[in-house]
Chains A and B, each alone.
Chain A
């Protein structure tokens, strides 16, 4: 079974609008961490935001926020006020304590295109 599922291969958003990128995960561990990364065309993976499984508040980092719904096992990324530079691939990832601190499981990614 997939540990991380991203069901949106591609998304479009108008500049200055908000967009939500979906991510669901599968784990039996109680202690885990969820990450979102951005990969522009240059190829580098850029860390955006982190949510710990015990964190009660949704994580926020500037224009990025993570809509964490633990019971539904979802960790959607919300980008507010989209900018042209937000066009990139976005990956959701999870690290579990059970499998050690040594592996991030990645989803297949969502390609976001911001339209002027």
Chain B
């Protein structure tokens, strides 16, 4: 069964801490994404990557960075966590086809991060 795995389901961190959210996919997908989900705002794209060591900013990259050293792993980094980064974080992956593809994305189960 193909999947996207996020390392933590729930996380509590203190303000100012450096936080790593890990995501691993086993589908050999080229593209990987990080979204945050907030009530009333839907899912907003933070960063995405279309290849190893490549990254692109999404709609809300401020306060975040990413790392993709291996094809299967995409890490989201909060350099100095703040309370307004308390949210649900969803990782997703997709194949590299340029035309809209039926299967869309495969999502992980999400990490609910609380910054206190």
Interface residues of A (CB under 8 A from B): 4, 6, 9, 31-33, 35, 37, 42-45, 47, 50, 52-53, 91, 93, 95-97, 100-104, 106-109
Contact = CB atoms under 8 A, between A and B. Distances in A.
B101 interface: yes
B12 to A, nearest CB: 16
A6 B101 CA distance: 22
A110 to B, nearest CB: 10
Contacts, number: 81
Given A31-B99, A43-B112, A44-B109, A102 B48 contact: yes
Contact of B100 (A4, A31, A91): A31
Contacts of A9: 40
A32 B101 CA distance: 9
Interface of B: 31, 33, 35, 40-45, 48, 50, 56, 58, 88, 90, 92, 94, 96-110, 112
Given A32-B100, A43-B110, A50-B103, 10 more contacts: A33-B100, A37-B107, A42-B109, A50-B102, A93-B104, A101-B31, A101-B98, A102-B50, A103-B58, A104-B92
